[in-house]
Structure 1
Amino acid sequence: MSVAAIPARRLALLGGGFSSDDDGLLDDWVLRHAGGPRPKVCFVPTASGDAPAYIERFLDAFRSRSCEPSVLPLFRRELDDDALRTFLLAQDVVYVGGGNTANLLAVWRAHGVDRLLREAYGRGTLLCGVSAGANCWAEGSHTDSFGPLTFLPDGLGLLPGSVCPHYDSEPGRRPSYRAAVAAGTLPAGWALEDGVGALFADGLLTEAVTRTEGANLYRVEPDGGNGARERALVCRLLA
């Protein structure tokens, strides 16, 4: 009797995409990893409160691509539990937008979306997202969900460690994240400069790319003393 292959559990952290970039390079990179000629791509805009303009921007960007785009709103939810599970598990890509990470996690848990995303992840659905949509997959993250930049020791835990977005573009991000890792309030993790994409399979980094020459992905770890060290990883420049 043959045994079906267990699909790799994959997720991608994005330092950009349709919401901020005009060239579409990071989104095209995601689609190349989706599999199939017309992958199903579901946008989850929970972190922005299902902002209508954000949804339209996603649809405008993905309707012209070789994929089947859709949106999962939760603030005006239309699907019952069975239909919601069927819908999410049918997707090839779940693309989570930016906004408030803490609110996103709370709403997902209220609707059971966190459990469904874990199931989809185990079945091989590519999970990805930008900003809050990158933070949510890890054990913890660096966030402005509560106003000032701080640590959030909460997440789905699909990616071991922590995540920090906007590492180069928002004042205070770099020193604040390094301080959290040094103090142990966040575990060692990954810091993304804008323009970078990082792909993980079963929790291990398999590819790092950038649409912006010179932008980096960093591994940030305690230095064994009272500080933290960062190591830049080579990112392939997208053309």
Structure 2
Amino acid sequence: MKIVVIGGSGLLGSKVVQRLKDGGHEAVPASPRSGVNSVTGEGLLEALSGADVLVDASNAPSFDDDPAMAFFTNSTMNLIVAAKASDIGHYVAMSIVGCDQLPESGYLRAKVAQEKLVEQGTIPYTIVRATQFAEFTDAITASLTVGNEVRVPDALIQPIATQDLADEVALVAEAQPINGIVNIGGPEKISFEQMAGESLARQGESKVVVVDPQATYFGTPLSSGSLVVP
């Protein structure tokens, strides 16, 4: 099959492309660096010509509320139009586990808006909701650091290595669309406290990890299971 991966030069997208190529598919990475811009629509029809499957692994360049919403809505609308014109048989959209349960996050509201556009379209689809990338746990820990303390929410997180996620996304792309949502998470649900402790140990840091019921995840309050696969 010919499978076009939007965001195919990114951390996840590049791994999806390689996994699909290894599986014998014609996997095409599409991103602004290859002349394909989903926000403006530039190059989309050319990239999708003859394709069977579209995988959207793109991400907004800004996590701020309005720019994220503008990116995901404009990009998704352009992708849907181009996919219809190209007779794409399966639209695979990457999303985030629990996005519809955390409306205080503007970024996650944008992901929900993206999902709704895909669901309301006429193209057969699969939405893949994933847990947080394991490669980002150090950055998450840094975001929770206040002086010599790391103040973490009393919640769980389920990191997944991007290669493991890419393998799963490739399997979804190879399969028939389900017109629904697939949740994919890492092998273990751990506390933010454990995640931060392991991150600090890797970096040789001696900061203290404090469980703080008022701590937020990039400004968003969490319940215990907000970020893990149900």
Scaled to the shorter chain, the TM-score interval is: 0.3 to 0.5
Return the TM-score normalized by structure 1: 0.39
TM-score, with structure 2 as normaliser: 0.40
Structure with the larger helix share? 2
Work out which of the two has the higher radius of gyration on C-alpha atoms and give 1 or 2: 2
